[in-house]
Structure 1
Amino acid sequence: MRLTLLGTGSALPSPTRLQTGAIVERGGDTFLVDCGSGITHRLAQSAIDYREVDTVLLTHTHLDHVADLPTLAKARLLDGHEAFTVVGPQGTSDVCNALFAVDDLTDRLDLSVRELPEGTDPFTIGEVSIKRALTDHSKPGYAYRFDEQVTIAGDTTPTEPVCSLADGSAVLVHECAYPDETVSPGHSTPTALGKLLADVDVDCILLTHLFPETEPYADELANTVSVATDQTSVTLD
């Protein structure tokens, strides 16, 4: 399995970080988790063929996690790939109806939109089983765990359910939007996150979704955990 973080930024523009997007490659399967602005072009800069990315999982439906969905789908369509699947929490269907109305993509694509049922039951995409936990944000959302190796949390305050989902993972990708002493409803700060993760068994924690005001603290944060940058890649056995 290989994890590649294509975008590690936030809704605010950064000269070095695009909005959210992560690739999970498992055998012959390739999943994109979130598809923020610029992710399609970041794929073109990577070793990952965007034409092979036909399935996107959404952690939630804020714009900085969904904005490039029609861009990616249209790029694939122009290259002769009509099939495109989007899986996500409540609200995914409404967001896709709006986004794919642009350029009449709803009619031109072989589009499959799957809105996950409420709750935290595992689900499958093809032959891949994916576990999930509820996140604590201003939109309904989930953290996802692929096999026993990779857990990806969307935007969230630090929560016990997400930490429990991640326990035993090789890699946890978790947001750290703001520095300490910031009031950040729906987001995480280093100390608050660290307290909950102290007893969680995770080999590697990658912090992502940094707002511009948090970036100057990246070196300080890196003394205890890894701060991801765009194109950070981890290969797992």
Structure 2
Amino acid sequence: MTTTIPKASVETIGPMQLTFLGTASAQPSSTRNHSSLALRLGGDVWLFDCGEATQHQIQKSSTVKMGRIRKIFITHMHGDHIFGIAPLLASCLNGAGGTAEGYEDPRSQHSGMTPMVEIYGPLGIRAYVRTALSYTHTKLDGTYVVHELRSPSDPQRGDYTTVLQLPLEKEGTNFIQVNGIWNDIYKDARLSVSAAPILHSVPCVGYVLHEFPIPGKIDPKEYIPHIKRTKTSMSVMQQLQQGSSVELTDGTVLQGPPRREGRKVVILGDTYDPSPIISLACDADLLIHEATNAHLPGIDPTTKTTDTDESVEERARSRGHSTPLMAGAFAKRVRAKKLVLNHFSSRYPGDDSEEAHKIMAAIGSLAAGEYGHDVICARDFMSFDIVHS
């Protein structure tokens, strides 16, 4: 007799890889594109923010494939985070312009063959996407849907746009905060996505991906001798790997290893204070935090002689942004296992030059002084795997 568990509860994501497509703040530079990062979950790609020229960055990337994009999560409505959405959708969903013969309903074409793209973001993202596609006469050959994360003070009904729902736009969900968070805005058998507001100059969101518990590490030497001794089928190892108990032919009961905590990834938008997301973000395997401005005397030639750590922080806060010191302090506060900084001022180069290495090392050192661990400073096309603790 064997005890099994439902198939859905044993599904796993597999490899999880993060690629930065754009790491600039406000304005792009010759070495940094506008904000966007891609998370590969098995065969799917999820984007977080989609600044101008994101699709160009994807075309240059060796790890991110346009046809694999299934979800786009937008942190806030500033242009450097959303101006790439419409052209990206046109590429993902085989978009085209109007024809000389006039409008032709795209639903009569080949719609349904291209996988749907889901977009999540604050109030206004649905209006922006719909308006951008409508007034550029963009015809898609695939469906999309826009879900909005609304605060209690936002209107709870309606699309917040005068443009009618487009032919291939599916009706989205309006998620309303409960106790200050948006819980489980997406959930499947492998993971859930929740969100919370973070403080910026405009409404902004941080996202938390939490993988469900995964099979524990199994030592075959603990089980195989008993299985062979009782001439039980070796297929029971599959049940043991999932943490189930198995009864052998002689009545012996073997218990599989307990399941391990899944990975947690926290991706913050622009912020000078992300404290509202603390309840979701604690003990993350990876925290992505902005560090737009830094005080780097003797390293950054644009540093003013009158600047101090305090004055640079005050200036960053006044614009809704953080310094490396602020990012490091927050990472320590939520006990993040790894901190990666991004969203740097355009004056900080992101290439392989000696100047860039020197500036990024200094920025990382400032954050590490608060955090207590080494810090990674992102640059465009940087990729790394997110592994289990």
Q: Partner residue of 2:125?
A: 92
* Structure 2 CA distance for aligned equivalents of residues 96 and 204 of structure 1: 34
Q: 3-state SS of the aligned residue for 2:46? A: strand
Q: Does 1:234 align with 2:384?
A: yes
Question: What is the percentage of aligned positions where both structures have the same residue?
Answer: 27
Q: Give the aligned partner of residue 169 of structure 1.
A: 284
Q: Render the CA deviation track for 1:105-124: whole Å, top value 9, x for unaligned.
A: 37765231111234213124
* Residue 121 (str. 1) matches residue 182 (str. 2): yes
1:23-70 CA-partner distances (Å, limit 9, x unpaired): 112234321111001211111112221011132110111111111111
Q: Which has the larger radius of gyration?
A: 2
Residues of 1 paired with 2:147 and 2:125: CA distance?
A: 8
Corresponding residue to 1:142 among 192, 205, 218: 205
* More off after superposition, 43-52 vs 79-88: 79-88
The amino acid that maps onto 2:193 is: I
Bigger mean CA deviation after superposition, 113-122 or 49-58: 113-122
Q: What secondary structure sits across from 1:222 in the alignment? A: helix
* Native 8 Å contact 2:290 2:327 kept in 1: no
Q: How far off is 1:164 after superposition?
A: 4.3
- Structure 2 length-normalised TM: 0.56
SS in 1 for 2:328: helix
Going from structure 1 to structure 2, the CA distance change for 1:124 and 1:118 (only over 3 Å counts) comes to: closer
Counterpart Cα distance in 2 of 1:123 and 1:162: 14
Q: Is the counterpart of residue 222 in structure 1 residue 364 in structure 2?
A: yes
- 1:188 corresponds in structure 2 to 322
Q: Is the 8 A contact 1:34 1:56 kept in 2?
A: yes
RMSD: 2.2
CA distance, structure 1, for counterparts of residue 183 and residue 146 of structure 2: 18
Query: In the alignment, which of 327, 336, 342 is matched to residue 208 of structure 1?
Result: 342
Confirm or deny: 8 A CA contact 2:291 2:321 kept in the other structure.
yes
The amino acid that maps onto 1:21 is: S
Structure 2 residue runs without a partner (length 5+): 1-15, 96-112, 150-174, 211-262, 296-310, 350-355, 369-374
Q: How many residues are treated as equivalent by the alignment?
A: 237
Cα distance change of structure 1 residues 209 and 58 upon mapping to structure 2, 3 Å threshold: same
Q: Which moved more, 1:103-112 or 1:176-185?
A: 103-112
Which AA in structure 1 matches 2:381?
Answer: Q
Partner SS, residue 105 of structure 1? coil
